[in-house]
Amino acid sequence: MIRFHKTTGYLILGCALVMLLPLTGCGDVKRSSRYYEPIIVGHTAKHGNVPIPVLKTPPKRPYQVVGKMVFETDEGINFVYRSLRYNARVNGADAVIMRMTPKRPDLMDAFVEAQMIVFPQQIEQTRH
C-alpha cells in the first residue's frame, strides 16, 4: 500500500483540479457560435493571435456589419468577451460593437447584443 504525506495528497488533488478546469463549461466559447447570425459571408477567418477589439460605441471610421449575435449568459463578462472575439475571428471580423445589459448587479447574468464589423480597407485588401 502506498502512503502519501498529507501535503503530497493536497498537491495531487490540486493538480487534478487544475487539469479538470478546462473541461468545465466556462472555457468553451465554440458553443456560442450557435448565436452568430451572418449578414455578409465570405470573409477570411483571422488567426488566433490577431487582436479583436470589443467596442462599446460604434467607431468613427466607416465600417460594414458582417454578422450579429444576441444571447443571454450567466457565465460572466470574461466568457462574453472571449465568445465575441472567437466568433469575430472565425467569421473574419475586424472588431465587435457590443451592448450588454446586466440582469443583476454582479454582471454574471447578462443580455448581450453584438455586431461583428469589418473596416473598408481590410475589405479591399481581401478582394485582391
- Largest distance between two CA atoms of the chain: 70
pLDDT tens per residue, range 25-41: 445 899 999 999 999 99
Within 13 Å, how many C-alpha atoms sit on residue 44's CB side? 10
C-alpha cell at 87: 466568433
The pLDDT of residue 95 is: 98
- Per-domain boundaries in the chain: 27-127
At 67-88, the pLDDT tens digits run 999 999 888 889 999 999 999 9
CA–CA distance, 17 with 62 (Å, rounded to integer): 47
Please give the CATH topology (third level) of the domain spanning 27-127.
Translation Initiation Factor IF3 (3.30.110)
Mapped onto helix, strand or coil, the DSSP state of residue 102 is strand
Does residue 14 carry a pLDDT above 60?
no
